[in-house]
């Protein structure tokens, strides 16, 4: 169903993700992260934002250089 690809996360971020995934009742960290990413992508798509606006937001968050 899913293709597997590994990503690197800061260990402090991973610890926070693990904590909140457990608190929220997710079966795994992967399930939590998948759900969070799907929600964020849907929010960006619904916002009618242009690709350039999305890139600026991601740069502001430090995800793009």
Considering the domain boundaries, does residue 38 fall inside one? Answer: yes
> What are the tens digits of pLDDT across the range 8-63?
999 999 999 999 999 999 999 999 999 999 998 888 777 766 778 778 888 888 88
Does 6 map to a domain?
no
40, part of any domain: yes
> Is 60 exceeded by the pLDDT of residue 1?
no
Counting the structural domains of the chain, the total is 1
Please give the residue range of the domain that contains residue 29: 11-60
- pLDDT at res. 48: 64
- Does residue 1 belong to any structural domain of this protein? no
What does the block give as tokens for 50?
């242009």
3-state secondary structure of 6: coil
In a domain, 3, yes or no: no
- Give the residue carrying structure tokens 């991601």: 58
**Whole-angstrom distance, CA of residue 36 vs CA of residue 38:** 6
> Is 5 among the domain residues?
no
Residue 2 belongs to a domain: no
């Amino acid at each position: 169903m899913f293709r597997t690809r590994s990503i690197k996360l800061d260990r402090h971020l991973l610890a926070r993700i693990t904590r909140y995934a457990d608190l929220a009742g997710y079966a795994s960290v992967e399930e939590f992260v998948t759900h969070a990413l799907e929600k964020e992508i849907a929010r960006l798509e619904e916002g009618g934002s242009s690709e350039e606006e999305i890139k600026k937001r991601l740069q502001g968050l430090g995800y793009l250089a």
